[in-house]
Chain A
Amino acid sequence: MGCEAMKLALESVGHAFLGRPVFEKLDLSLVEGEVVALIGPSGCGKTTVLQIAAGLIDPLRGRVRRAYRRHAVVFQEPRLLPWMTARDNIAYGLCAIGASATARVEVAERRAREVGLHPEDLDKFPVELSGGMRQRVAVARALAVDPDVVFFDEPFTAVDVGLKRALQDLVIEAAAREHFSALFVTHDLAEAVRVAHRLVVLSGSVEGLAASRVIEGKPGERNDRIVFEMVETWSRDPAFHALFDGERERIR
């Protein structure tokens, strides 16, 4: 994918919380239409990398280069505004970029259909929706702004296995259709293998990335058997040991 346009690049980025370094000299880039899964043990700073990439926090060292118009973030929790209906929540990002009222309604309804929400759900408040539907609204809100880059921060950890699959398929389809780049943070190797083109592993210690692998085939074309075998092979790979041993070391 070397010839395609670069959308986002993190260059020797380092960050620390209260003097305790999380990672140093981290390099990461996204090219157009590429979905990169960022995995690592919990507490290794995956979310921090995402927040730096999305501009929510400034890195202490290094720099972030962006070559796109607009991005959107899907958080771990839906983060919907409880006082707005599902329709207004989906249109929130459009409101922030100053889209007209008619355009907002039209886009919100189209995006809601794409993520599998019923039209009558659009007039409901978030408290009236189930957990899965709330996360669908959050995905629709991110897609509504026609983003060039989407950041997913462990978005489907709180939903059950069947729904998780459905939501992953939704992301895979949307990425193929709209051709956006995405950084997909997860701690689930199988999820990473299903949705991404490329996989990067953030090590538990401060040195940054432990490994970067291109996943064969395209997301959506790998069947369950391929995904399972890939996960099996990689879990024996020394580069991925941090994922499975990191927890033990952290507890010590």
Chain B
Amino acid sequence: MKLVPRGLALAGWAGRYVWSGWAGVAGLFCLAAAWQAGHEFYGSFVLPSPLETLQAISVIVREPSFAKVARETAERSLAGFVLAVGIGTTAGAIAGYSFAAMRLMRPIVTVILGVPPIAWIVLALIWFGSTGASAVMTVVVAALPISFAGGLEGVATRDRALDAMARSFGAGIWMRFRTVTAPHLISYLFPAWTTTAGTAWKVTVMAELLSNSGGIGGELATARALFDIPRVMALIVAVVAFALITEYVFLHPLRDRLERWREAGLPWGVKR
């Protein structure tokens, strides 16, 4: 079959994707330069230099306990992400199809959105105690409204003319959802999902720190208590790195593969 050209196309796409990373790396190095300047102005105690932080990171990753706490945090944020995205998207899609459901659910989501995440942590601590469940719950309630809004907008703005076309060919509900609504929905969901992924890491660490339930947040609390500033910086950098990996290694390539048709419409030069 056409395996060879397909493989070549995939390799070409992967090469372009990795190559486009240079621009991102350049931006990160600008940030590192500003960080170094801040370090030289304020000194090591307030702001350790990027080099010291790197050294602290290399120490941390060699500790056997770090892999365990990182896995703990990763599992909690993944669980929070999956639940938030699953519940939010499903509820949003239902609300998009049914106006009655939308009128019922919108105020609920507004209320959830109005309660600050820090208040949810307090409630979660009371309900679940110092366990991973309180971190997961905080992630879910903090990130759910974004997926809900994405699912709602995506389904509500589906192209009814295309739907009528599909019906004229006798396509059933499932086929119409798969071929007409879902590809349109994806373009609304991806921004929501990338935001949710970032939120999941941040909120998990925050909840862990406040509820003292281990994970990277727990490590951060200990490092703060010991005034080990390079270690604090190293843990922050580690969390940021995890968030970046989630977005650029998992979510963006997936989006690129699913939305090839959108790229096809761009003029030369705008293409990455």
Contact = CB atoms under 8 A, between A and B. Distances in A.
A83 B161 contact: no
Given A77-B161, A81-B162, A54 B264 contact: no
A72 B168 contact: yes
Contacts of A184: none
A79 B169 contact: no
The dominant DSSP class at the A interface is: loop
Given A56-B164, A79-B165, A127 B264 contact: yes
A75 B259 CA distance: 26
A73 B171 contact: no
Nearest to B265: A127
B68 to A, nearest CB: 43
Contact of B167 (A56, A81, A95, A97): A56
Contact of A79 (B161, B171, B259): B161
Interface residues of A, number: 25
A71 B167 CA distance: 11
A81 B180 contact: yes
A93 interface: yes
Contacts of B260: 125
Given A95-B175, A96-B175, A83 B169 contact: no
Contact of A83 (B164, B165, B166, B183): B183
A70 to B, nearest CB: 8
B177 to A, nearest CB: 13
A73 B165 contact: yes
Nearest to B170: A96
Interface of A: 54-56, 70-73, 75, 77, 79, 81-84, 92-93, 95-97, 124-125, 127-128, 145, 151
6 contacts: A70-B170, A73-B168, A93-B170, A95-B171, A95-B175, A96-B175
Interface of B: 161-162, 164-172, 175, 179-180, 183, 259-261, 264-265
Q: Which 9 A-B pairs have the closest CB atoms?
A: A127-B265, A93-B169, A73-B168, A83-B183, A79-B165, A96-B171, A125-B264, A83-B261, A96-B169
